[in-house]
């Protein structure tokens, strides 16, 4: 039988890596709550149509990367490649539009069939923030500010650059699309096969092409800003002005786009050069037309998603796991007492390691291997006197402590 291995593009999160992930998610959860964002959970798989409607039939995610399958009931389902579609589906199917505005935070695994590389996996994890029902440019600023605050608390804001662009409103977008199409038609022969296929259906996607030939052509393409109407320029000015007021630095990048028609106005990415070719660590934008695309009522919305793997790689090492206290029973009578003592100390918030077998020497070796900060030696004599021997495993000093005072003593020394 072949040796069992994890599926390509997946990996085990062993304790140290889990602590890194936990630090990112807990930091994001805590900061999001400060701004009033409540946590929401949506299913890991949805009807395939949820993602086809939201991501577009021509997108790489839909055509090449989604994990889609037919279940035993004959339904076509897809493992979620991102969280926004599921959250918007929940808004519509749950009748939540009656409660707008809504602020949601979400975290969990996503799935895309793509080439694994540094910081990118086929099962990966994201933090996600969505502000629903707010059309004001200050909504865009708030979600960016939450992202910046999270990066700052992780100690990595100075390793990133906030890149900012605007896609304008629908009339501005339509004017730009015409200008872009005119330009790209003149360079049709030099475009890649994928980009030629997108010319009539979704030319904006060509701006995201990774093909080197496409990139050279795109470098000379018109930019969105030249086609913004007055209303769109005013919206973007308010966004930039509020970011300036908050002291959030940004770099204008006219090449940041979103290829789907429901995106509008602000788009942004926090990018880094510290992870090689993997630039964006947190990215998002305004998507006022998404709810209508999915059959719901018109709902302004803005949000972002951040890759936990990449954020964890950028962040400094998390604090080590709490050092436990080891209980070392001596004799059969002490075994039963140690169970009760371990329970009481754990209920008092103290991490306890209770070896399951072995003599005193073996249990002490295990305590040292686990990095225990102290050992509680419990024998028949100690039981009779209502005391335990508390040994500091760093200094080697020890003292006798009444059972009733152990939790307080250990808490003080933690």
Residue-wise DSSP of 249-299: --EE-TT----STT-EEEEEEEE-STTTT--EEEEEEE-TTHHHHTTS---
Asked if the structure places residue 62 within a domain, the reply is yes
Mean pLDDT of 361-386: 86
Query: Token pair for residue 355?
Result: 């070896």
Secondary structure of 73-141 as H, E, C letters: CCCEEEECCCCHHHHHHHHHHCCHHHHCCEEEEEEEEEECCCCCECCECCEEEEEEEEEECCCCHHHHH
3-state secondary structure of 147: helix
The pLDDT of residue 57 is: 57
Tell me the pLDDT band of 119, cut-offs 50, 70 and 90: low
The pLDDT of residue 257 is: 82
Tell me the pLDDT band of 201, cut-offs 50, 70 and 90: confident
Asked if the structure places residue 271 within a domain, the reply is yes
Integer angstrom CA distances of residue 46 from 39, 49, 57, 264, 299: 19, 8, 16, 26, 21
The alpha carbon dihedral of 20, 22, 23, 27 has a sign of positive
Are 70 and 109 within one domain? yes
The pLDDT of residue 58 is: 53
Asked if the structure places residue 204 within a domain, the reply is no
The domain spanning residue 64 has which CATH number?
Answer: 3.30.930.10
Terminal Cα-to-Cα distance of the chain (whole angstroms): 49
Cα separation, 130 vs 84, whole angstroms: 8
Are 156 and 235 within one domain? yes
The pLDDT of residue 362 is: 82
What total number of domains does the chain contain?
2
Are 360 and 292 within one domain? no
Are 272 and 409 within one domain? no
Q: How many CB atoms lie within 10 A of CB 45?
A: 17
pTM listed for this prediction = 0.89
Integer angstrom CA distances of residue 51 from 88, 109, 264, 296, 328: 11, 16, 19, 15, 56
Element (H, E) at 381: helix 380-385
Are 338 and 302 within one domain? no
Asked if the structure places residue 86 within a domain, the reply is yes
Are 302 and 353 within one domain? no
Question: Under a CB-based contact definition with an 8 Å cutoff, are residues 167 and 263 in contact?
Answer: yes
Are 280 and 360 within one domain? no
| pLDDT greater than 90 at residue 138 | yes
Query: What is the domain extent for residue 84?
Result: 15-169+229-314
The pLDDT of residue 322 is: 83
pLDDT tens track for 33-64? 999 999 999 999 999 999 887 776 555 666 67
Asked if the structure places residue 135 within a domain, the reply is yes
The alpha carbon dihedral of 353, 357, 358, 359 has a sign of positive
User: Which range in 120-134, 214-228, 390-404 is most confidently predicted, on average pLDDT?
Assistant: 120-134
Are 251 and 352 within one domain? no
Mean pLDDT of 374-379: 89
Asked if the structure places residue 100 within a domain, the reply is yes
Mean pLDDT of 348-374: 84
Cβ within 8 Å of residue 198, ≥6 positions away:
58, 205, 206
Mean pLDDT of 325-354: 89
The pLDDT of residue 63 is: 62
Tell me the pLDDT band of 175, cut-offs 50, 70 and 90: very high
The domain spanning residue 374 has which CATH number?
Answer: 3.40.50.800
Are 127 and 252 within one domain? yes
Are 46 and 109 within one domain? yes
End of a domain among 287, 314, 341?
314
Query: Token pair for residue 169?
Result: 């409103």
Asked if the structure places residue 365 within a domain, the reply is yes
End of a domain among 263, 292, 314?
314
Are 408 and 329 within one domain? yes
Q: Which strand ranges, in their side-by-side order, compose the sheet holding 102-111?
A: 38-39, 102-111, 123-132, 301-307, 280-286, 264-271, 161-166, 251-252
Tell me the pLDDT band of 90, cut-offs 50, 70 and 90: very high
Cα separation, 243 vs 248, whole angstroms: 5
Question: Under a CB-based contact definition with an 8 Å cutoff, are residues 328 and 375 in contact?
Answer: yes
Residue that wins the pLDDT comparison between 33 and 337: 33
Cα separation, 309 vs 126, whole angstroms: 8
Tell me the pLDDT band of 360, cut-offs 50, 70 and 90: confident
Are 330 and 310 within one domain? no
Cα separation, 94 vs 110, whole angstroms: 22
Query: Token pair for residue 98?
Result: 């009656």
End of a domain among 314, 334, 367?
314
pLDDT tens track for 244-296? 999 999 999 988 887 676 889 999 999 998 887 658 999 999 999 899 989 99
Mean pLDDT of 348-354: 91
Asked if the structure places residue 201 within a domain, the reply is no
């Amino acid at each position: 039988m072949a040796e069992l291995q994890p599926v390509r593009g997946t990996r085990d999160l062993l304790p140290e890596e889990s602590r890194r992930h936990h630090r990112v998610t807990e930091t994001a959860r805590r900061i999001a709550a400060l701004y009033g964002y409540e946590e929401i959970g949506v299913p890991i798989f949805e009807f395939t149509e949820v993602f086809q409607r939201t991501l577009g039939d021509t997108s790489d995610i839909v055509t090449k990367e989604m994990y889609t399958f037919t279940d035993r009931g004959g339904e076509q389902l897809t493992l979620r490649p991102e969280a926004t579609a599921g959250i918007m589906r929940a808004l519509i199917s749950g009748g939540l539009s009656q409660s707008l505005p809504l602020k949601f935070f979400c975290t969990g695994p996503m799935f895309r069939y793509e080439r694994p590389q540094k910081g990118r996996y086929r099962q990966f994890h994201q933090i996600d923030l969505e502000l629903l029902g707010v059309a004001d440019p200050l909504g865009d600023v708030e979600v960016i500010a939450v992202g910046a605050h999270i990066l700052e608390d992780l100690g990595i804001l100075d390793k990133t650059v906030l890149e900012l662009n605007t896609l304008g409103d629908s009339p501005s977008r339509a004017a730009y699309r015409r200008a872009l199409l005119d330009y790209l038609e003149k360079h049709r022969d030099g475009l890649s096969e994928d980009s030629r296929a997108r010319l009539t259906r979704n030319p904006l996607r060509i701006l995201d092409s990774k093909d080197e030939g496409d990139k050279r052509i795109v470098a000379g393409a018109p930019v969105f800003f030249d086609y913004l109407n007055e209303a769109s320029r005013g919206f973007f000015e308010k966004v930039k002005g509020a970011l300036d007021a908050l002291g959030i630095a940004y770099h204008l990048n006219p090449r940041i786009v979103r290829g789907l028609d429901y995106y509008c106005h602000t788009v942004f990415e926090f990018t880094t050069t510290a992870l090689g070719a993997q630039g964006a660590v947190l990215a998002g934008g305004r998507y006022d037309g998404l709810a209508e695309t999915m059959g719901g009522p018109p709902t302004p919305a803005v949000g972002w998603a951040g890759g936990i793997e990449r954020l964890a790689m950028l962040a400094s090492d998390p604090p080590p796991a709490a050092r436990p206290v080891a209980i070392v029973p001596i004799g059969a009578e002490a075994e039963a007492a140690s169970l009760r003592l371990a329970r009481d100390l754990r209920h008092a918030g103290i991490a306890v390691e209770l070896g399951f077998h072995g003599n005193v020497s073996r249990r002490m070796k295990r305590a040292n291997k686990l990095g225990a900060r102290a050992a509680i030696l419990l024998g028949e004599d100690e039981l009779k006197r209502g005391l335990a021997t508390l040994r500091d495993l760093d200094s080697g000093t020890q003292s006798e402590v009444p059972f009733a005072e152990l939790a307080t003593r250990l808490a003080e020394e933690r």
